[in-house]
Chain A
Amino acid sequence: MTAFGITMMALLAFGLGDVVDVLEDDDVQSAIGIAESFARANREMTDVEEYYLGRSVAATVLDMYIPLENQSVQQYVNLVGQSVACCSPKPSLYNGYHFMVLNSEEINAIACPGGLILVCSGLTDLADNEDELAAILAHEVSHVALRHGVSSIDQARWTEFGALVAEESADRWGSSEVQAAVGDYGEMVEEVVSNIINRGYSRETEYQADSLAAVILSRAGYSPSALSSVLQDMSAITSRSGPGFWQTHPSPEDRLSNLGGILASLPQTQVDAARTQRYQDYMSGTATVPGATTTTTPGTRGSSSTGSGTSTGTTTGTGGRGSSSSTSTSTSTSTSTSSSTR
């Protein structure tokens, strides 16, 4: 149904049927057409557009860094990342969430629009266990879910692009329009890269990402306090010079202060020994995921991760995953075939 049709129905529903005749006037229909174009020009960026914008942002970032050539770590980070992403407010993206560890000692991470998340090894090395790694990734997932990347784009620039795209007639969407769109696209890619890498998000958006990360951790079954543990590790760093993180984020002390309230409101979960064990195994390279050694072959459905560690414990349902919360007692003992030294 067109906006015009919807408007008619709405007016009828509101008891304003007497103005319908007037609305059918050609001039008024033309005004409605203008209103529709205006609405499209001011529409939000679609998930597909966000994805393609994010790919170019990621390509630009990858021009500055190199990936960590450790397939075990890459696969593990993706497993942890998916574990938290599926508990975010926006678990389904056009092409999903993807994570890559960059070989850089910088303490930094870049959440590109559309779900591509790049994390420097300097930041992952700050984590002492899987829950803290999950906290780092949950913060970046939160930036994506809250669309902080695209919302940092100048509204006037987006509106101008929206007006170009809103052209109704197919024959007016020709090469010159495509070229103009590419120009706008490039400017927006540069703007997002600059916002993320150089200027950083506002303090408020960082606090939002921290708060949402704590909630995601709780829903996922990780310890929300792991986020404050990572921030405390950051706080212990005295040398805060250089580009990146220290210039683009509020101080860890301020973030800890902001996080206090939300953490107090969330149920506390202990860092599980089995998770810490496998964190050490994966990060040290003693645990590997089948099929993760070839980087050019996409992961295949049906693959499974290896188990590691010995654990005995009692768990209760988190309620955050799936549709049903539950209370159950689960006791398992497994003997790993892999060693567990870091």
Chain B
Amino acid sequence: MRLILLPLMALALLALADDQAPQAGDQVAIAVQNQFIYPMPAFYASPTQPVSYGTLATIDEVQGEWYMVTTALDDTGWIHSTAVTGAIEGSYSGTSASGSVTSDEIMLAGRGFSKDIEETYAGENPQLDFSMVDRMENSWTVSSEALYQFLVEGKLIEGEAASSSSSSTSSTTSTTGGGRP
């Protein structure tokens, strides 16, 4: 009997392990650092609110690659689908006061490659200058505002004005309100 059941269990686990795209009503967790929710589904939109890694959120609406979510802290806005985990099972529905959750992925990350591992590795390899990596990550940060301005100036998106730092005249007719909210 067990010889029959074990392959059956493996098949069931494999089937359930398939990544199903979360749907409206599903709960997910923020899977990236320095993330924001936006008033419209676009990275160049002025962010509504920062959200922390691990924060739980419920999907209210799916629109292409973007989810309208309400976080455990009751903030609502759009977030890109790649910034969240897959749908979280029911047993994770209890949230802490901070609205954070420890999903399986996040738990494993704590034991996998982490800051602690990097620091130990850096100690064993003093020739490696991690401050240069920090500099790369921190010196040329692009804000949503700068990105929006850059995209408009480069005619990569439609916008309301070409430049805030130069004298300009502009007239824009858009059927979708392509300007920044």
Within 85-117 of A, Cβ neighbours of B (below 8 Å) are at 86, 89-96, 98-100, 116
The B interface is mostly helix, strand or loop, or mixed, namely mixed
How many Å lie between the Cα of A228 and that of B80 in the bound state?
A: 30
Whether A92 contacts B129 by the Cβ 8 Å rule is no
Whether A22 contacts B158 by the Cβ 8 Å rule is no
Chain B interface residue number, banded: 35 or more
Chain A 286-327 interface 0/1 with B at a Cβ cutoff of 8 Å (1 = within): 000100100111111111111111010101011001111111
Asked whether A315 and B13 contact (CB < 8 A) given A323-B63, A328-B176, A336-B166, the answer is no
Whether A52 contacts B158 by the Cβ 8 Å rule is no
How many A-B pairs with Cβ below 8 Å?
A: 333
Segment of B20-28, B69-77, B94-102, B105-113 engaged in the interface with chain A: B105-113
Decide if A3 is an interface residue (CB 8 Å cutoff): yes
How many Å lie between the Cα of A35 and that of B11 in the bound state?
A: 11
Whether A323 contacts B147 by the Cβ 8 Å rule is no
How many Å lie between the Cα of A162 and that of B9 in the bound state?
A: 21
Which of these, B120, B127, B128, B138, contacts A178 with CB under 8 Å?
Answer: B120
Residue among A161, A274, A299, A323 facing the most chain B CB atoms (10 A cut-off): A323
Segment of A59-67, A199-207, A234-242 engaged in the interface with chain B: A59-67
B167 contacts across to A, CB distance below 8 A? 334-335, 337
Within 133-151 of B, Cβ neighbours of A (below 8 Å) are at 133, 135-147, 149-151
Which of these, B2, B33, B45, B105, contacts A95 with CB under 8 Å?
Answer: B33
B161 contacts across to A, CB distance below 8 A? 332
Taking the closest CB of chain A, its distance from the CB of B94, in whole angstroms, is 13
Taking the closest CB of chain B, its distance from the CB of A86, in whole angstroms, is 4
Whether A275 contacts B140 by the Cβ 8 Å rule is no
Whether B108 contacts A40 by the Cβ 8 Å rule is yes
Whether A43 contacts B108 by the Cβ 8 Å rule is yes
A155 contacts across to B, CB distance below 8 A? none
Chain B 21-62 interface 0/1 with A at a Cβ cutoff of 8 Å (1 = within): 000000000011111000011111101000000000000000
Whether B153 contacts A328 by the Cβ 8 Å rule is no
Taking the closest CB of chain B, its distance from the CB of A129, in whole angstroms, is 11
Chain A interface residue number, banded: 35 or more
Whether A49 contacts B109 by the Cβ 8 Å rule is yes
Residue of B nearest to A328 (CB): B174
B144 contacts across to A, CB distance below 8 A? 301
Residue of B nearest to A316 (CB): B158
How many Å lie between the Cα of A338 and that of B148 in the bound state?
A: 20
Which of these, A182, A299, A323, contacts B142 with CB under 8 Å?
Answer: A299
Decide if A146 is an interface residue (CB 8 Å cutoff): no
A324 contacts across to B, CB distance below 8 A? 176
Whether B117 contacts A181 by the Cβ 8 Å rule is yes
A280 contacts across to B, CB distance below 8 A? none
A residues with a Cβ closer than 8 A to B are 1-3, 5-7, 10-11, 14, 16, 19, 22-23, 27-28, 31-32, 35, 39-40, 43, 45-50, 52-53, 55-56, 58-60, 62-63, 67, 71, 74-75, 77-79, 82-83, 86, 89-96, 98-100, 116, 118, 130, 161, 165-167, 173, 178-179, 181-182, 185-186, 189, 220-222, 272, 274-275, 278, 289, 292, 295-309, 311, 313, 315, 317-318, 321-337
Cβ contacts A to B, 28 pairs, < 8 Å:
A3-B16, A5-B91, A6-B16, A7-B9, A7-B16, A11-B12, A46-B105, A47-B31, A49-B112, A56-B122, A56-B128, A74-B140, A75-B140, A90-B82, A91-B80, A94-B32, A98-B137, A100-B136, A116-B136, A178-B120, A274-B154, A278-B153, A306-B166, A322-B41, A330-B170, A330-B178, A334-B169, A337-B166
B residues with a Cβ closer than 8 A to A are 1-2, 5-6, 8-10, 12-13, 15-17, 31-35, 40-45, 47, 63-64, 66, 78, 80, 82-83, 89-91, 105-106, 108-109, 111-118, 120-122, 124-125, 127-130, 132-133, 135-147, 149-151, 153-159, 161-176, 178
